[in-house]
Amino acid sequence: MSIGLSVSRISVCFFCYMKLDCRPDFVSLVWTKSRPQAEPSLIRLGNCPPTSVSAEEAVFNVGLNDCHFRRMVTGDQLVYTNDLTYIPSSDSHMPAFSLPVVCAYERPVDWYPPMYDPVLFDTYGQGELVFHMELMNDDFSGPAPSTAFPLGSLIPIMASVEHKSHQPLLLLLEECVATTTPELQPENHLFPIITNKGCLVDSKGTRSKFEQRQKSSEIHLSLQAFKFALGEEVFIHCKLLAWDPSGLDRSKKACHYVKDHGWELLDNPSYSSLCDCCDSSCTSRRTRSIASGKHGIAHNAVLGPLTITDWNA
């Protein structure tokens, strides 16, 4: 990776100092407390604990491919983002906090997002756009080893869009339903998964959730296997939306329900108010085409067949 911007930045929060140093392939971050009640060992960078901890500091030396860094292409830059979070212990009087971590690099001329070679997938090209949707293994590192999922287990689903000459793109799942046929028929019995312009309604009573993004052009969904059509072939029909990352609103979002917390926006939880309409009606605007120089384009995808099996069978 060629580096265009080596960032050394100091941020100040109410009870801490954060020094960030962006290197070509890794990030060095030092968090220093300014109040004695704060506990450095409870700091996390993405999903990573500190590399080292002292009484006053938490130090992170991590690769850009680790800790769930999110990658986005913006013009001639590669931008990596993450969150530095602090969740205090239950007996602490310190508040929780989250600080943004951003590293920007010069984009190599020949760099494009990696392409997948899916096994069970839906692939569709429109102009220079290529959509993918596939079943994945447990850690989303490769295709699913089986299309059978026990009732209650998690079904990992990945959807992505590639567009070499138009970056960045944000991929959203606007609607998903399960049926027992590869085509949607008026008489079909439907199991709703995502409705209301990006609301994962299945998450209200299950462990289903959107996983943290690795890059804007992909979305990972962990879907808890449901009782619908046990033992039969199941097809998941989704409407994929590729959109300008700066264009999130009530009709273009990814929201899931967090128990004892409420609806949460995947891409920026601080704007979770965009999800308030998930229990009522989220207004829609007409989707506009990237090819015409506007903001987004939609594609209907079908994933399957897969089978949900009963543990007791």
Residue 305 sits in a domain of what CATH number?
2.60.40.4100
Do both 132 and 64 map to the same domain? no
Q: Mean pLDDT for the chain?
A: 79
Residue 246 maps to a domain: yes
Instruction: Provide CB contacts within 8 A for 101, sequence distance 6+.
Output: 20, 27, 29, 45, 81, 82, 83, 84
Torsion, Cα 259 133 76 20, to 10 degrees, reads 30
Residue 128 maps to a domain: yes
d(CA 139, CA 141): 5
Burial of 143 (C-beta count, 10 Å sphere; 0-12/13-18/19+)? middle
Do both 180 and 248 map to the same domain? yes
Give the model's pLDDT for residue 74: 54
Indicate the residue among 80, 106, 132 that finishes a domain. Answer: 106
By three-state DSSP, how is residue 279 classified? helix
Give the model's pLDDT for residue 70: 74
Residue 203 maps to a domain: yes
Do both 69 and 169 map to the same domain? no
Q: Containing domain of residue 89, as a range? A: 18-106
Residue 6 maps to a domain: no
For the chain, 313 residues long, give each residue's pLDDT as a single digit of tens: 433 343 444 444 444 578 888 888 889 999 887 666 678 888 888 888 899 998 888 899 998 878 878 776 555 677 788 888 877 766 666 667 778 888 888 766 655 444 333 333 344 444 457 788 899 999 998 888 889 999 999 999 999 887 665 556 889 999 999 999 888 877 778 899 999 999 999 999 999 999 999 888 899 999 999 888 888 899 999 999 888 777 778 888 999 999 889 999 998 898 899 999 999 888 755 444 343 334 568 888 889 899 999 866 5
pLDDT, tens digit, for every residue of 88-144? 766 666 667 778 888 888 766 655 444 333 333 344 444 457 788 899 999 998 888
Indicate the residue among 73, 106, 139 that finishes a domain. Answer: 106
Residue 2 maps to a domain: no
What would the two tokens of residue 266 be?
Answer: 């995947």
Do both 76 and 160 map to the same domain? no
Do both 54 and 133 map to the same domain? no
Give the model's pLDDT for residue 79: 77
Cβ–Cβ under 8 Å, residues 242 and 290 = yes
Do both 89 and 144 map to the same domain? no
Do both 163 and 301 map to the same domain? yes
Residue 113 maps to a domain: no
Residue 75 maps to a domain: yes
Give the model's pLDDT for residue 257: 95
Find the radius of gyration of the CA atoms of the chain. 21
Q: What is the CATH number of the domain that holds 102?
A: 2.60.40.3210
Do both 271 and 238 map to the same domain? yes
Residue 164 maps to a domain: yes
Do both 87 and 58 map to the same domain? yes
Do both 164 and 52 map to the same domain? no
Do both 137 and 276 map to the same domain? yes
Do both 267 and 137 map to the same domain? yes
If one counts every other C-beta atom within 10 angstroms of the C-beta of residue 49, the result is 13
How many structural domains are present in the chain? 2
Give the model's pLDDT for residue 254: 95
Indicate the residue among 106, 133, 162 that finishes a domain. Answer: 106
